[in-house]
Amino acid sequence: MALFRKAEKLCGGEGKESMHVATYNAVVHGLLINGQAADAEAIVDYMLKSTSGPKPDTITYNTLLRHYARKSDAANFVRILQNLASSGLEPDVYTYTTIVDTLLQSNRPDAVMRMLDVMETAKIPANTATYTAIIDCLIRRKGEKNVRAALQLVNKMEADGIPANEVTFTSLLAGVSRDDELPAMVQKQLVAEIMAKMTARGMEPNRVTQNFLLLAALKADSKTGIDQAMQIWREAIAEKGNPGHIPHTTYFILLTGLAKNERYDHVQEVMEYIYRSGWQPKGSLEKLIKQLSREIALRG
């Protein structure tokens, strides 16, 4: 506890609450690393009872959670979650990541349902924001199993009367589109499944979802994927009526993807459309078009 006494001395003075909390958290972390969980919890208890010092923050509880997760100590893990929820603090991304990692590493087939049970026991509110945060954590782990777990969670939340929103589905699309562990065919199927769910809920693809669809189609590295990407673009220009109304980012994704797949016929089609329209791209898109024009010229 000598470290604690030193930290206590450092915590004097006005207007330094942030430093106080950081100092206490560092001591708690150090004690846990050295196997002194009882002393670490004694410090947290002292912070809770103190009338003048700082209170534990989300980082304090996350530090304890990670420790008990590594020890596979389910009872103390749930207890700390309960303390976090009852303190009035909001769980953050690190909290949810710890919950997800802890349960999925157990390889239990009911890991997602068990995760929800743990959250319910800890009295963490079940709402769209909470579910979306967990879905995002699942998606970031990559792999079809985790995507399926995320989709299972969407079904569960809606069955419980908690609506998934555009942020939820955009998070799913982002994860699937960027997941380099997914085979192209599986990725295509998952994107189609997510889009079908959005359509069934009356959600129209926005600029962000459109870009993720493009990324997924171009990653497929096949004629079907390229055709799908071109179809997405053609539908966009038919809807907007002016190439300038389509974001630079969309053109950049499309042109770089087509060039990477050496589909210069389609690159030329897109660039000719831009030239004919009289629209003048700016910045990085303008540079890309000039570079691609030179490459096409060299190819004859």
C-alpha to C-alpha distance for 112 and 106, rounded to whole angstroms: 11
Confidence label for 83 from pLDDT (cuts 50, 70 and 90): very high
Q: What percent of the chain has pLDDT over 70?
A: 89
Q: Structure pTM?
A: 0.63
Q: Is 259 exposed, middle or buried (0-12, 13-18, 19+ CB in 10 A)?
A: middle
Inform me whether the pLDDT recorded for 110 exceeds 50. Answer: yes
Q: Is 124 left (phi over 0), alpha (psi -120 to 50) or beta?
A: beta
User: Quick check: helix, strand or coil at residue 246?
Assistant: coil
CB atoms closer than 10 angstroms to residue 295 = 12
- pLDDT, residue 134, reads 86
Instruction: Report residue 8's pLDDT band, with 50, 70 and 90 as the boundaries.
Output: low
Q: What is the pLDDT of residue 14?
A: 44
The predicted-structure confidence for 166-189, as pLDDT tens digits, reads as follows: 888 888 887 887 787 888 788 878
Where exactly are the structural domains of the chain?
Answer: 207-300
pLDDT band at 269 (very low <50, low <70, confident <90, very high): very high
Angle at the Cα of 32 (from 27 to 35), degrees rounded to 5? Answer: 130
Model confidence at 12: pLDDT above 60: no
Residues 6+ apart with CB under 8 A from 288: 252, 255, 256
pLDDT of the residue at 40: 94
Q: Is 239 helix (H, G, I), strand (E, B) or coil?
A: helix
**What pLDDT does 192 receive?**
84
Q: What is the mean pLDDT of the chain?
A: 83
Measure the CA–CA gap between 215 and 200, rounded to whole angstroms. 23
Which residue reads 């990541």 in tokens? 97
Instruction: Give, in order, the Cα–Cα distances in Å from 50 to each of 30, 45, 46, 55, 194.
Output: 21, 9, 6, 8, 50
Nearest to 267 by CA among 224, 297, 241, 222: 297
pLDDT digits (tens, 9 = 90+) for 130-164: 888 888 888 888 888 888 888 888 988 899 899 88
Q: How far apart are CA 217 and CA 129, in angstroms?
A: 29
Per-residue pLDDT tens digits for 182-225: 887 888 788 888 888 888 888 876 777 778 778 777 876 667 77
Q: Supply the pLDDT for residue 5.
A: 59
Sign of the Cα pseudo-torsion (125, 128, 133, 138, in order) = positive
CA angle at 226 for the pair 220 and 228, rounded to the nearest 5°: 95
Higher pLDDT, 32 or 107: 32
Q: Please give the average per-residue pLDDT across 17-30, as a whole number.
A: 81
Pick from 9-13, 98-102, 118-122: least confident: 9-13
Asked if residue 56 has pLDDT above 90, the reply is: yes
